[in-house]
Amino acid sequence: MFLSRLKIQDKFEKAIFAFDRKGTLFFTSGFQRLFANSANDLMYKNYLNIFAAEYTNTIKKELKKLTDKNKTTHLTIKLNNDSKTKCILTLSILFYETGKHIGYIGELELDKDEQKKCIEKAESSYKEFLDNIPIGIYRTTIDGKLIFANKQLLKIFNYANKYDIKDVAETFVDKDYRKQKLKQWIEQGEYSDEFQIKTSDNRIVYVRDAGHLVTENGKPMYFDGALEDITEKKVLEKKLKESNTSKNKFFSILSHDLKGAFGQFIGATDLILDEINNFDKEQIENIIQLLNEQANRSYKLLENLLDWSKSQEGILKFQPEPINLSALIKEIVEYYNQAAKKKSINLYSELKDSLIVYADKYMLSTVLRNLISNAVKFTPKGGSVVISACELIDTENYRNKVLEISVKDTGVGIEKERIEHLFNMEGNYSTKGTGGEIGTGLGLILCKEFVEKHGGKIWVESETGKGSTFKFTIP
Q: pLDDT tens for residues 179-218?
A: 899 999 999 999 999 999 999 898 999 999 999 999 988 8
Task: Tell me the β-bridge partners of 469.
Answer: 408, 461
How large is the C-alpha radius of gyration of the chain? 42
Task: Tell me the β-bridge partners of 26.
Answer: 18
Q: What is the pLDDT of residue 469?
A: 93
128 vs 122: CA distance, rounded Å: 10
Q: Is 470 within 8 Å of 421 (Cβ atoms)?
A: no
- What's the pLDDT band for 408 if we cut at 50, 70, 90? very high
**What are the helix (H) ranges across 198-280?**
231-275
Long-range contacts of 228-235 (CB under 8 A, 24+ apart): 228/135, 228/136, 229/136, 229/156, 229/205, 230/194, 230/206, 231/205, 231/206, 231/207, 233/206, 234/206
Q: Is 134 within 8 Å of 156 (Cβ atoms)?
A: no
DSSP secondary structure letters along 289-333:
HHHHHHHHHHHHHHHHHHHHHHHHHT-S----EEEEHHHHHHHHH
pTM for the predicted model, two decimal places? 0.45
Q: Is 435 within 8 Å of 451 (Cβ atoms)?
A: no
Average pLDDT across the chain, whole number: 80
pLDDT digits (tens, 9 = 90+) for 350-377: 988 878 899 988 889 889 988 998 899 8
Q: What is the mean predicted confidence (pLDDT) over 260-277?
A: 73
Residue 12 sits at φ, ψ, to 5 deg, of -85, -10
* DSSP 8-state class, residue 352: P
Q: What is the pLDDT of residue 109?
A: 82
Q: Is 298 within 8 Å of 261 (Cβ atoms)?
A: yes
